[in-house]
Amino acid sequence: MEFRELKTFHVVARLLSFNKAARVLHYAQSTVSSQIQSLENSLGETLINRTGNKICLTPAGVMLLKYTQRLINIESEILSNFKDLNETSGNLIITTPHSVAAYYLPPVIKEFQQKYPNICFEFDSCVGYNFNDIFNAGLVDVAFLFNSNFSDKLLHVEELTKVNLVFVANPKDNTFDGVIESIDDFHDKTLLLSKSDCSYRMIFEKMLMRADVKLRKIQEVNSPEATKRILEQGYKGVALLPEITVQDQLVKGTLKCIQWNGQPFNAKLFMIWKKEKFQTEATKVFVQAVRKHFNKPCNPDN
């Protein structure tokens, strides 16, 4: 397999069109098709399904797209770094829950961009706990996680701050009468949980499983922002969210906080990156910037 074939596949996969890819790459369409076929033969996998004029990626194609994106980012970083050896540049892929990207990282990114304008960011959503897999595959540089506790011998794991989790509902919803006494109170109730903030929801779901509590239903929503809007429109159910994400709504009265008297389960925010002697300069300076923002000691060796 050749790098040019991987780059061609990347363009085809992004555009989902052989014709468009050929125009972008200034190739004949037959050349694009030939390179994709050669790549499939090298890997022994079908990467693209062709149905009439439409194409779509196979599971193997989706996997390869992630690798090619990483390779192209590395190529860009190499070219940028050698263009000006005195200026820090490169690409950072950050895996993070939606709430972290929306409420914790913006001031870090703003200050960081002013100091390192040539570093580009790519944000990916939460992927649960398969951190070793994504780091070993080179698919992420830095990850953030909500959890009660987390450690990994192969990774740097650093606690950044405590995170208060709250239950919220529409002010007119009296399902819980303002108080949740224990986990058992959730029996036959509707719970809204965010897909993109998967880590802290896992903490609570484990509590439900251990107590053998049967919900009426779990309503999965793609983000905390969408969850808040749904509740504000009058949807009957309770959502579990970081307090920082609902402060404005609680002040305005468009959402209400339901007191939780059960077992404490507040989370912590962790930053995670790979343990290895060589770190890209972009990763190093970003880790130090996050530490500075959260008033954590800076360690130049990590």
Asked if 87-162+268-293 and 165-265 have one fold, the answer is yes
* Domain spanning 165-265, CATH architecture: 3-Layer(aba) Sandwich (3.40)
Mean pLDDT of 270-292: 83
Q: pTM of the full predicted structure?
A: 0.69
Class of domain 3-67: mainly alpha
pLDDT in tens, 132-187: 767 766 668 899 998 888 888 888 999 999 999 999 999 999 888 888 988 999 99
pLDDT in tens, 80-100: 666 554 456 677 889 898 899
C-beta separation of 111 from 233 below 8 A: no
Mean pLDDT of 209-230: 90
Q: What would the DSSP string read from start to end of 148-161? A: S----TTEEEEEEE
Beta strands in 84-198 (DSSP E): 90-95, 119-124, 142-147, 155-163, 165-169, 179-180, 190-194
Centroid of chain to Cα 53: 33
How far is 8 from 39, CA to CA, in rounded Å? 10
Confidence of residue 121 (pLDDT cuts 50, 70, 90): confident
Domain residue spans of the chain: 3-67, 87-162+268-293, 165-265
* CATH dotted code for 87-162+268-293: 3.40.190.10
